[in-house]
Amino acid sequence: MFAAYRDDVVVQPYVAGRNARASFLGLKPDTGVEALGVAFVDSASDFQTMADSLALYGDTGAAAREAGTYAEPELLPVAASQPRADARIRRIAQSLMTGLGLRDVFSIDFRVEADDSVHLIEFEVCPGLPCFDFRAYCRTQWEMGLADAMAETAASRFGRVAAS
């Protein structure tokens, strides 16, 4: 894989369930796990393929829009249908925030089974901020567009440094 794609990979077994994304932006320095946005990412298939990703982002996303094939997956709150799974995801996020000192921005991808079992698939501290789901998170959680939310977050961090 590295020779072909110049990237390290971990091969994981298939896990049944639905894709879920937990997004976090610490708009203010004291923002905690209560601001975590936890949503199922439902597309037309069981999992997002590379073709699905290419149809959403960058130049290929623009081409998909021009061709009329652009379609964002539906985002549904996990708590609405699986509150136990939502609580488990929040505990995992809190553990990562406490253990790693996270406080600014991150996202975590999960698979959630029907019995509320939660499987961590991917964790990143540099999430694709302009992605449809992070834009939706900013609108829902902070009632701001992405640019305004990022500007407010940066301003709160620079203010914290300046006050030190």
Q: CATH number of the domain at 152, please.
A: 3.30.470.20
Does residue 31 lie in a domain region? yes
pLDDT at 62: 66
Mean of the pLDDT values across residues 19-42? 94
Higher pLDDT, 88 or 158: 88
The answer on pLDDT for 89 being more than 50 is: yes
- Alpha-carbon gap, residue 71 to 56, rounded angstroms: 7
- Highest mean pLDDT pick, 9-18, 50-59, 133-142: 133-142
Number of domains the chain is built from: 1
Domain limits at 48? 17-163
Does residue 12 lie in a domain region? no
Does residue 139 lie in a domain region? yes
The answer on pLDDT for 102 being more than 60 is: yes
- Alpha-carbon gap, residue 96 to 41, rounded angstroms: 22
- Are 37 and 23 spatial neighbours (Cβ–Cβ below 8 Å)? yes
Higher pLDDT, 60 or 32: 32
Identify the CA nearest to 37 among candidates 151, 111, 139: 139
The answer on pLDDT for 161 being more than 50 is: no
Does residue 4 lie in a domain region? no
The answer on pLDDT for 36 being more than 70 is: yes
Where is average pLDDT lowest: 70-79, 88-97, 108-117? Answer: 70-79
Mean of the pLDDT values across residues 32-46? 87
Does residue 5 lie in a domain region? no
pLDDT at 98: 95
Does residue 149 lie in a domain region? yes
Q: How confident is the model over 143-152, as pLDDT tens digits?
A: 999 999 999 9
Percent of the chain with pLDDT over 70: 80
Q: How confident is the model over 44-62, as pLDDT tens digits?
A: 666 665 565 655 555 566 6
Query: What is the 8-class DSSP label of residue 56?
Result: T
- Alpha-carbon gap, residue 56 to 31, rounded angstroms: 30
Q: How many CB atoms lie within 10 A of CB 23?
A: 26
pTM greater than the 0.85 cutoff: no
Does residue 26 lie in a domain region? yes
Q: How confident is the model over 120-134, as pLDDT tens digits?
A: 988 888 766 668 888
Does residue 102 lie in a domain region? yes
